[in-house]
Amino acid sequence: MKKLYEKNELTFALVWIAIYVVGTSLAEALSESISVYKLVSAVFHIALTAALFLWIRRNGLMEKYGLFLPRYRLLQAWFFIPLALVCLYKLVFSPALRFSATESILFVISMLCVGFLEELIFRGFLFRAIEKENLTRAIIISSVTFGIGHIVNLFNGQDLLDTAAQIIFAVFVGFALVILFHKGKSLVPCIVFHGVFNALSVIANDEALNSALGDPVSAALIMIAASAVILGGYSLWNWKHLQG
């Protein structure tokens, strides 16, 4: 793997995207087949997280990929309040546990690992590989690719509306996080936000959200628009003021 990395970082990133996407899809299918939600997924994501973290540390790449705490004053990044607003809306609309206790634990573990993996692969490997040639292209490609990558949920049984909304939302999130990483140098805030956002889905009550905002289509449009405004404004601020 190190030889591939040294030869072509972009190819390395694309290989890891394929490993992650295909592996996650297979793990989800296996979890469903044994009727224990997220069991295989959690094991797969833990193994992949450990393997990538150890590989990065062994090869002295912790600094390059931002695996250190932020070195800027948190006030510069508004104490990450905009990210918290986007993340914590799931606590507002009648949160309720969606799975059994065991499955909920597996879900949270899996989602926390997904936060690390997706940030490292898309914001780390892919962005850094393209950034050397063209920063603007790197920002766009890493954000859009991150969003489109969620289309795999459609093949895992998620309905079309939810998947489309998730893709659009993920593009906005990807853009905000890549700006935060590029300007602040630390990937840790991105990982924490991503992991917590995913993990909170264990108590998300989509029916209550849809009811409060009218219907599924209206709810999707309102949440996307609100997120676009919050994350867009936050990205502009970070681009102008954040220095890591």
Distances (CA, A) of 109 to 156, 200, 244: 19, 11, 29
In the predicted model, what is the mean pLDDT of residues 225-229? 90
Q: Are 55 and 125 in contact (CB under 8 A)?
A: no
Provide the residue ranges of all domains of the chain, joining segments of one domain with +. Answer: 2-241
Token digits for 184? 């602040």
pLDDT attached to residue 43: 98
Q: Count H helices and E strands in the chain, helices first.
A: 12, 0
Q: Are 76 and 143 in contact (CB under 8 A)?
A: no
The residue among 159 and 126 whose pLDDT is bigger is 126
pLDDT at 221 over 90: no
The residue among 75 and 119 whose pLDDT is bigger is 119
Banded model confidence at residue 201, pLDDT cuts 50, 70, 90: confident
Distance CA 196, CA 162 (A): 20
Q: Are 110 and 41 in contact (CB under 8 A)?
A: yes
pLDDT attached to residue 240: 92
Distance CA 197, CA 9 (A): 29
pLDDT at 234 over 80: yes
DSSP 7: H
pLDDT at 161 over 80: no
pLDDT at 163 over 70: yes
pLDDT attached to residue 94: 67
- Residue 73, burial from CB neighbour count under 10 angstroms (0-12, 13-18, 19+): exposed
pLDDT attached to residue 128: 97
pLDDT attached to residue 156: 65
Q: Are 55 and 185 in contact (CB under 8 A)?
A: no
Distance of CA 56 to the CA centre of its chain: 19
In the predicted model, what is the mean pLDDT of residues 128-145? 95
Q: Indicate the average pLDDT of the chain.
A: 91
DSSP 72: S
Residues 91-118: tens digit of each pLDDT: 877 677 888 999 999 999 999 999 999 9
pLDDT attached to residue 157: 66
pLDDT attached to residue 54: 98
Q: Are 155 and 216 in contact (CB under 8 A)?
A: no
Banded model confidence at residue 162, pLDDT cuts 50, 70, 90: confident
Distance CA 67, CA 187 (A): 6
DSSP 25-41: HHHHHHHHHTT-TTHHH
**Residue 9's CB: how many other CB atoms inside 10 A?**
17
In the predicted model, what is the mean pLDDT of residues 145-154? 80
Count, residues in the chain: 244
DSSP 181-223: HHHH--SHHHHHHHHHHHHGGGG--HHHHHHHHSSHHHHHHHH
Backbone torsion region of residue 57, taken as left when φ is above 0, otherwise alpha when ψ lies between -120 and 50, otherwise beta: alpha
Q: Are 195 and 112 in contact (CB under 8 A)?
A: yes
pLDDT at 153 over 80: no
Report percent pLDDT > 90 for the chain. Answer: 65
For residues 78, 80, 81 and 82, what is the CA-based torsion angle, rounded to 10 degrees?
100
